Amino acid sequence: MENDINWSSLPFGYVKTDYNVRTYYRNGKWGSLEISSSEHVDLHIAATSLHYGQESFEGLKAFMGKDGKIRLFRWEENAKRMQNSAKGILMAEVPTDLFKEAIYKVINLNKRFVPPYGSGASLYVRPLLIGSGPQVGVKPANEYLFMVFVSPVGPYFKEGFKPVNMLLTREFDRAAPLGTGKYKVGGNYAASLTSMEKAHEGGFANVLYLDSKEKKYIDECGPANFFGIKNNTYITPKSDSILPSITNMSLITLAEELGLKTERRPVAETELESFEEVGACGTAAVISPIGKIVDETGKEYFYGNQPGKISTKLYNKLLAIQTGDEADKFGWVDFVE
């Protein structure tokens, strides 16, 4: 069955598809995957995910190539990161084989929602792990539910590959250095909502967070990592409270390919004025060049109204690998069959 989605004007949002997949962890083991066409889950009122935030999610994208083959980008890294998040908040880990089976199955079941090559859209895959067993005291659940749904998506920032403006905040923190910022758990995103709303109200695409301990170093950029470029060097913050981005890790490799030096180290706010290009990177954001950073006192760092040269090269190279236009020399792409 065809569908009438206008692929090239798709926002980053939820679109109902045909199926999702689910499985429970009970009595110490994972069950087999169920296919569901319901968009709902039936959950115990005392489930730990509802009360104490035992929840982790992932996000990855599937792309249609010119050759009609569906490609997944670095899914094993998402499996690993979800295992790490599960460890971080004491949930049952989803084994890599089960993660793979689930994402391949849900993509295959929803093939008609994979946006066509050249549309600029992709199929966003959202694995989700939640504590489904009841507790009233603050304790980990005995039962977990792992689900994966998909949604065709366009660019995360409505600007697409155009510079966005960011609000640098000192009034809000997203995560603490010894807290959960390095895990992809729902609580971090709940903690980011008020600051994001403030940013949106001020006409900014998102928030740039400083480290919550010293308020001196750049942490990350809403749901994306931060990078800056100067003197032919790709520089990205090292911090214990940011999510290790798979896109950022890939861009470091690609920057080296392009002949840049790369550095992962603390990036002081004062360094912002010396960057030639800055951007946000992530699965949803891909590369979003940043045109301007403004703090709450009105202090401004301006980078330009057009994407920088190196950001553009990195963006094109990443997308070319993801869609199969460029050879997958790093072994990052798997075909979904």
Q: Which residues are catalytic?
A: 184
Phi, psi of 292 (to 5 degrees): -155, 140
Exposure of 34 by Cβ count < 10 A (0-12 exposed, 13-18 middle, 19+ buried)? Answer: exposed
Residue 51-80 contact track with ligand COI, rule CB under 6 A, x = bound: --------x---------------------
- With CB under 6 A as the contact rule, the residue among 180, 247, 311, 322 that binds ligand PLP is 247
Quick one: tokens of 116? 């066509």
283 touches ligand COI by CB under 6 A:
yes
CA distance 165 to 147: 34
Nearest Cα neighbor of 94 from 216, 184, 224 is 184
Give the one entry of ligand PLP, ligand COI, none that residue 243 binds, where binding means its C-beta sits below a cut-off of 5 to 8 angstroms depending on kind.
ligand PLP
Give the shortest CB-89-to-ligand COI separation in angstroms. Answer: 17
Number of residues that bind ligand COI (CB under 6 A): 5
284 touches ligand COI by CB under 6 A:
yes
Give the one entry of ligand PLP, ligand COI, none that residue 245 binds, where binding means its C-beta sits below a cut-off of 5 to 8 angstroms depending on kind.
ligand PLP
Give the shortest CB-130-to-ligand COI separation in angstroms. Answer: 16
Beta-bridge partner residues of 166: 206, 293
Stretch that binds ligand COI, among 39-47, 101-109, 130-138, 282-290 (CB under 6 A): 282-290
Q: Which of residues 40-99 bind ligand PLP (CB under 6 A)?
A: 59
Number of residues that bind ligand PLP (CB under 6 A): 12
> By C-beta, is 70 or 272 nearer to ligand COI?
70
Q: Give CA torsion, residues 255, 207, 159, 60, to 10 deg.
A: 60
- With CB under 6 A as the contact rule, the residue among 179, 223, 279, 308 that binds ligand COI is 223
CA distance 264 to 15: 36
Judge contact between 104 and 19, C-beta under 8 A.
Answer: no
129 touches ligand COI by CB under 6 A:
no
282 touches ligand COI by CB under 6 A:
yes
Give the one entry of ligand PLP, ligand COI, none that residue 225 binds, where binding means its C-beta sits below a cut-off of 5 to 8 angstroms depending on kind.
ligand PLP
Q: What is the DSSP string of 13-82?
A: S----S-EEEEEEETTEE---EEE--S-----TTBHHHHH--EEE--EEEEE-TTS-EEEESHHHHHHHH
**Vertex 114, ends 111 and 120: CA angle to 5°?**
170
243 touches ligand PLP by CB under 6 A:
yes
Q: Which of residues 212-241 bind ligand PLP (CB under 6 A)?
A: 220, 223-225
Judge contact between 124 and 154, C-beta under 8 A.
Answer: no
Quick one: tokens of 129? 């792990």
Binding interface with ligand PLP (CB under 6 A): 59, 220, 223-225, 243, 245-248, 282-283
